[in-house]
């Protein structure tokens, strides 16, 4: 698939959004004064990723999403074209997504969970694990059906009122 320069730039911004927190960890090594260091670290950890992802998504568009989807599928050894997921495969994808949702939302309601040594010491790995659950659920197990259903949820459609009044 031939991609446009605009999509490639958009994908570069998306990648920059994902790796910009690493830059936040490197900034203190440059020896800037405290104000500049704090500002740059805050930007790279809090505001920068969102800005880069937004710009990247706008520039990449549908073509960029298709390109990234193909690369992710290739990474997992799946065919790049749309493929149907079997019933069991689809259900595993739904379980992965629901487990991800549970692990992302539920800990916020448990007081002091992030102070527990097991969670505190492994928070980075737990975060990566939950993100992998979502990726596996949508792209690997869910197949084209899952991506289509998610896009239907996001896409606005006019409301059609039924006229079945008795």
Name the pLDDT band for 163 (thresholds 50, 70, 90): low
49-56 average pLDDT score: 85
136-161 average pLDDT score: 79
Name the pLDDT band for 139 (thresholds 50, 70, 90): confident
Q: What is the pLDDT of residues 63-77, one digit of tens each?
A: 777 777 777 777 777
115-135 average pLDDT score: 84
Q: What is the pLDDT of residues 33-45, one digit of tens each?
A: 999 999 998 888 8
Contact (Cβ atoms closer than 8 angstroms) between residue 39 and residue 27: no
In the predicted model, is pLDDT for residue 164 greater than 70?
Answer: no
């Amino acid at each position: 698939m031939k991609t446009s320069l605009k999509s490639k730039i958009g994908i570069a911004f998306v990648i920059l959004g994902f790796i910009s927190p690493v830059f936040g960890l490197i900034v203190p090594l440059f020896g800037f004064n405290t104000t500049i260091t704090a500002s740059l670290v805050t930007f790279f950890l809090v505001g920068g990723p969102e800005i880069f992802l937004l710009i990247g998504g706008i520039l990449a568009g549908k073509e960029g999403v298709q390109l990234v989807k193909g690369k992710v599928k290739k990474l997992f050894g799946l065919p790049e074209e749309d493929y149907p997921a079997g019933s069991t495969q689809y259900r595993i994808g739904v379980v992965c997504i629901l487990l991800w949702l549970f692990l992302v939302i539920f800990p916020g309601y448990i007081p002091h969970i992030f102070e527990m040594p097991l969670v505190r010491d492994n928070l980075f790995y737990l975060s990566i694990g939950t993100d992998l659950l979502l990726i596996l659920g949508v792209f690997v197990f869910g197949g084209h059906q899952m991506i289509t259903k998610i896009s239907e949820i996001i896409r606005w459609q006019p409301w059609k009122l039924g006229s079945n009044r008795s």
